[in-house]
Structure 1
């Protein structure tokens, strides 16, 4: 799935916008189809950070250590819980109370980690050392607001992939 690393910014934007459109799609009088279409849209929208985090991690020098396993676990965890809540609630949303609130606090942390990892990874690859929060906070917000941020991030991803390809030749 490294195709995402080679997309142009406008292609990645279209990919993400398809996810946005599908996640807001409604089929009248058929909540099951609406839920499935919305789930596909949400997965498409949130696929970019995962694929970039996964793809760029392989370019990371061994001297720079980032917690890739936590990223993968948090990615699967928050997406699974979100999709389960969408299916159970028929797309209407759920209110968590009691002990389930603690689970939701971890899910919020998982989402933040999911968004921060590609930003930290991208900045670490650019500067050649492990990036601190103050180094990649701007990139974090670009990942968090993808339809806008993709115009700035994808070209930097392409540059890293191109540099690695020319370095390996």
Structure 2
């Protein structure tokens, strides 16, 4: 997966478009296969922020610590919540009210945290210090609006990876 950190922005853009296309594919008369293709597309699309958040941590300075476990838990919570919702609603979506909506508020928070964490890690690597929300908010917005944000984010990620590779070789 670390290969995604070294990929060019247009390569990641194509991968994200494939994920988007698969997540919006419907096969008439075969809802189970449609749901499986949709879920594969969702996983392809949302694996990129996970790769950034997980593998860029290797480039953090020793003094900077981030909560990787909480990030991973939130990834599985929101993916699990999304899959549960898709399975229960046969891919049509549903409206939750009352107490049934409470768990999905956390799923929504998990989704937002999952999108913000890679932005925090990237900015922390670039600034070589612990960053606050104000420092990485613009990167968070770029990740939230993938695949458009990839044109700004991926060159910065490539630069970080190349710089660290040069430091290791020296």
Question: What is the TM-score with the length of structure 1 in the denominator?
Answer: 0.97
Q: Work out whether residues 81 and 104 of structure 2, in 8 Å CA contact, stay in contact via their aligned partners in 1.
A: no
Q: How does 1:62-101 map to 2 (within 5 A)?
A: 62-101=62-101
CA deviation vs aligned residue, 1:85-105 (integer Å, no higher than 9, x gap): 112211101222332221111
Equivalent position SS for 1:49: helix
* Deviation at residue 106 of structure 1 after TM alignment: 0.8
Deviant stretches of 4+, over 3 Å = none
> What displacement does 1:59 show?
1.3
- Structure 2 unaligned spans of 5+: none
Aligned to 2:11: 11
**Structure 1: gaps (5+ residues):** none
TM-score for both structures, normalised by structure 2: 0.96
1:135-146 to 2 correspondences below 5 Å: 135-146=135-146
- Correspondence 1:117 to 2:117: yes
Whole-angstrom distance in 1 between the partners of 2:109 and 2:94: 18
Equivalenced residues, count: 169
The secondary structure found in structure 1 opposite 2:63 is coil
- RMSD of equivalent CA atoms: 0.9
2: CA distance between counterparts of 1:24 and 1:6? 28
